[in-house]
Amino acid sequence: MLRSTLLTIDYIAIIYFIIINITYIFLNFIAFFSIRKNQLKEEVLDIEKRFSSEFYKPLSIIVPAYNEQETITENLNSILKLEYPEFEIIVVNDGSTDNTMEKLIEDFNLTTFNKNYSEDIETKNIKNIYKSTSHPELFIIDKENGGKGDALNAGVNLSDYPLVCNIDADSIIDSKALLSIVVPFVNDWRVVAAGGTVRIANSSKIQDGKVKEVKLSNKYLVRMQVIEYLRAFLFGRVGWAGINSLLIISGAFGVFKKKHLIKAGGYNTNTVGEDMELVLRLNRKMNKNNRKYKIVFLPEPVCWTQVPEKLSSLKSQRKRWHQGLGESLLYNFEMFFNPNYGTSGLIAFPFYFFIELLGPIIEIFGYSAIILTILLEFDGNNVVLLFLVSSILLGVLLSLTSLLFEEMTFRKYKKTKDVIILSFYAILENFGYKQLNSIWRFIGLYKLITRNEEWGYQERSSFNVEE
Amino acid sequence: MTIYLKMLIYILSFLSLSLFLALIIFHLRLKYYENKEQLYKEKYSSIIESYIDSEINLEKTISYFENENNYKILKNIFKPYINKYENEKHDRLKILINKIGLNNYLYEKLKSNNKKKTLKAASFLGKLQDRNALNKLEKLLRSNDRLKVITSAWAISEIGDLSYLKPVIKTLLNKSEMTYEAITELLVNFGKNICDKLIDYLNKDLKEDDYLVNEFETDEYKILSVFIDIFGFYRYEKSLKVLEKLLIENTNEEVTIHIFKALVKIGQPVNVNLKQFLQSESWVIRSQSAKYIGVIGAEEHTQTLSYLLYDENWWVGYYAAQSLWKMDKTELMKNIIKHDNPGAEMCSYVLAKNNYVFNLEGS
């Protein structure tokens, strides 16, 4: 009885590993061709040279901030240096309990200001609105704490322009990234939202608020995340976008047409995954209104972020992400296997539900069952072991594929030594890191069921800034 | 079962190892290519710069390139210069590039079956404003591939031959999802002369029913919107007569909005009663016409603007207040604030936005 139960779990887990790896290899290939096409487009249409004229759409940048006193000035200075013809920056202090607001008032010469606050989306109470006397394009909302979604909604209410861009207060945006991310809105009227890529900046050289040199961190945990970001968050998402099934735009860097964002009801304040939830809801609303629309993901406009360097921070981040994933899917469950949503409803949503959301259950039980089967030396343990090796090798193959595609497209890591180190980590992540991730995601799933919410504070080390 | 699994493991191991080797080889190959390009840059940059600055003549410059046939790298070296320079210096570069044979290389690539090579060549020939490429580019324009269509349209517009204007407009309006902004941005590459050609089209349309629709095979409002945007871009005052006529005769809201946006840029008055637009049902028309009033300083509409200050749409109120500010009606605005009349909040906002500091007792 025990033997047959264990073997059943073994095989379910192994089939799951094979499905997830093959899907991602497939997505990586779609992404590769999609990126090459995009790069060709950028080259022949000379996007860098364009938009020096008046054909841009003005943009409101919304920066939600909660307890960011250590980094807010440095990061805002970086955002103020972005290259874009006309934009405003709205920082939303979401009831910080530290000195974020005092720091902003002091460093940016703020005075209270009577700017139009539209109340298109309901939010927590606004305490005050400020404008900077040193930077006329900078506005600050000081409001009661309501969570990241609520802070973003307050920013949308205050914004003046037809496009709104959300940027995390602790991220660095490439100086031309705004220009690139707005191009699809001009080139194709169907585009309602566009997401940019988030990359890892730990140890990279930062100068004048810009990433001057991409360096590979020497920390084990960061290197693992570099591989993971390439595989899942870069090529994975470009791949989904390539088959018109993108279900998430990162909260760290995305642009939306304001009117559609408001029509969809703004960000959901009852989830920690407000970024994914919004994209899913946009899909639903657009579909219901029978409007032709496109949600695009651009691999080139890059937002740089600091990833956790400590296990405790990473654990908390992953739990929160998984909880957010679950909430977003459940709020929009109408899309599940719904042919009205095309490949998003028939392929992407079920994949996210069964493989991404419920995956940790299969992984935890699977790993335990495989170890027990081998330790107890049941009949057939040989086959299980071979299956396990195959699925691990498939994982290695997937990570190496992502690395090769990165080399063939963006080449952010220039040193040969870095490429070799990353190849080594593509193998190493299969032994320990992936399993730890499964445990954290499993806890996130538990939190989803117990509805435990938090703003998601992440302890960060400062960027590697050079004066 | 075990044998098959073992075979699978061997295959996966072999694939992983091959991928790793491919990755390293690809990395080293790119590094080699980058170094080679760097060497070329070091070798030719100073020569090209001296030629552009007329320090060395054409014959002498050509002699430096005599035995050079790596056109792929040469194209990359010349590209930043072609993008950077305009007018005389651009013309000098075009002559040099042609003489060293790069254009012939690009014609070959333009004929290639490889889409990537074709598009890169088309784009570069456009920057070189090479008229010899026009026939081939027009063929590309007729393609069903969206990227081929847009690339060739860009290249043709950069070459600037107005005899190709009609097929370009027709194709963009019918075969692309580009916004008006993107289409206008492309078409203005033809140069300011495009405006006269567009006026011709519009005059013919005024004489002959559905002329534009028949010529461009799409909805009239789309064609008009693009034409008007181009007039606005060039601040083309000669278009005022046509715009006036369109304001009176046209009934399409979208076209009216484009007309006011263009008029705001042109900044000249038209002989049309604007009050009807300030009272339009469309808030976009109300806001754009309010903005235009401020640009031309049409003070006879001051009263209507003061009603618009508390329009149900925020943008209408905002532009009405901005126009009052531009027409130097600060006393009126201060009065509205002082008596807390409707529109006081908008007046305060716009005065603050323009850094106008005052107190309600004095000035």
| Confidence at B250, pLDDT banded by 50, 70, 90 | confident
Q: What is the pLDDT of residue A455?
A: 46
Tens digits of residue pLDDT in A206-217: 887 788 889 999
Question: Does A111 reach chain B within 8 Å, measured CB to CB?
Answer: no
Contacts of B348 in chain A (CB under 8 A): 114
Q: What is the pLDDT of residue A457?
A: 47
Of B177 and B1, the structure prediction assigns the larger pLDDT to B177
CA dihedral (B119, B125, B129, B131) in degrees, to 10, reads -100
Query: What's the one-letter identity of residue A219?
Result: K
Tens digits of residue pLDDT in A125-148: 999 999 888 888 899 999 999 999
| Closest residue to A114, CB basis, from B27, B318, B348 | B348
Q: Reduced to 3 states, what is the DSSP secondary structure of residue B196? A: helix
Average pLDDT, chain B: 92
Q: What is the mean pLDDT of residues B245-273?
A: 93
| Distance from C-alpha of B196 to C-alpha of A43, rounded to nearest angstrom | 32
Give the helix/strand (H/E) hosting A88. strand A87-94
Q: What is the mean pLDDT of residues A299-308?
A: 87
Q: Which residue has 């028939």 as its token pair?
A: A346
Q: What is the pLDDT of residue B1?
A: 64
Q: What is the mean pLDDT of residues A409-419?
A: 90
Question: Does A46 reach chain B within 8 Å, measured CB to CB?
Answer: yes
For A389-457, the DSSP string reads: HHHHHHHHHHHHHHHHHHHHHT-----HHHHHHHHHHHHHTTTTHHHHHHHHHHHHHHHHHHT------
| Distance from C-alpha of B301 to C-alpha of B272, rounded to nearest angstrom | 13
Q: What is the pLDDT of residue A377?
A: 78
Quick check: A456 pLDDT over 70?
no
Contacts of B147 in chain A (CB under 8 A): 37, 40-41, 44
Q: What is the pLDDT of residue B174?
A: 92
| Distance from C-alpha of B240 to C-alpha of B195, rounded to nearest angstrom | 12
Average pLDDT, chain A: 87
pLDDT over 90, % of chain B: 80
Tens digits of residue pLDDT in B292-337: 999 999 999 999 999 999 998 888 999 999 999 999 999 999 999 9
Q: What is the mean pLDDT of residues A278-285?
A: 93
**Residue/partner pairs of B309-313 with CB below 8 Å, 24 or more apart:** B309/B336, B309/B342, B309/B343, B309/B346, B309/B347, B310/B342, B310/B343, B310/B346, B311/B283, B311/B286, B312/B283, B313/B283, B313/B286, B313/B287
Among B2, B17, B19, the residue to mutate for chain A (most A Cβ within 10 A): B19
Q: What is the mean pLDDT of residues B200-229?
A: 92
Query: Is there a contact between A58 and A162 (Cβ–Cβ < 8 Å)?
Result: yes
Shortest CA gap A387–chain B (Å): 7
pLDDT over 70, % of chain A: 94
List the single residue in A with minimal CA-CA distance to B83. A49
Among A45, A55, A259, A404, the residue to mutate for chain B (most B Cβ within 10 A): A55
Contacts of A382 in chain B (CB under 8 A): 2
Question: Does A44 reach chain B within 8 Å, measured CB to CB?
Answer: yes
Q: What is the mean pLDDT of residues B241-267?
A: 93
Q: Are strands A205-207 and A126-132 parallel, antiparallel or unpaired?
A: unpaired
| Other beta carbons within 10 Å of A166 | 27
Q: What is the pLDDT of residue A47?
A: 60
Tens digits of residue pLDDT in B107-118: 999 999 999 999
Quick check: B351 pLDDT over 60?
yes
Q: What is the mean pLDDT of residues A374-384?
A: 77
Query: Is there a contact between B131 and B120 (Cβ–Cβ < 8 Å)?
Result: no
Tens digits of residue pLDDT in A82-122: 888 888 999 999 999 999 999 999 999 898 887 778 888 99
Q: What is the pLDDT of residue A464?
A: 60
Nearest to B18 by CA among A20, A393, A433: A393
Quick check: A48 pLDDT over 90?
no
Query: Is there a contact between A167 and A303 (Cβ–Cβ < 8 Å)?
Result: yes
Contacts of A393 in chain B (CB under 8 A): 9, 12-13, 16
First-to-last alpha carbon distance for chain A, in angstroms, is 67
Quick check: A458 pLDDT over 70?
no
Are the beta carbons of A387 and B22 separated by less than 8 Å? no
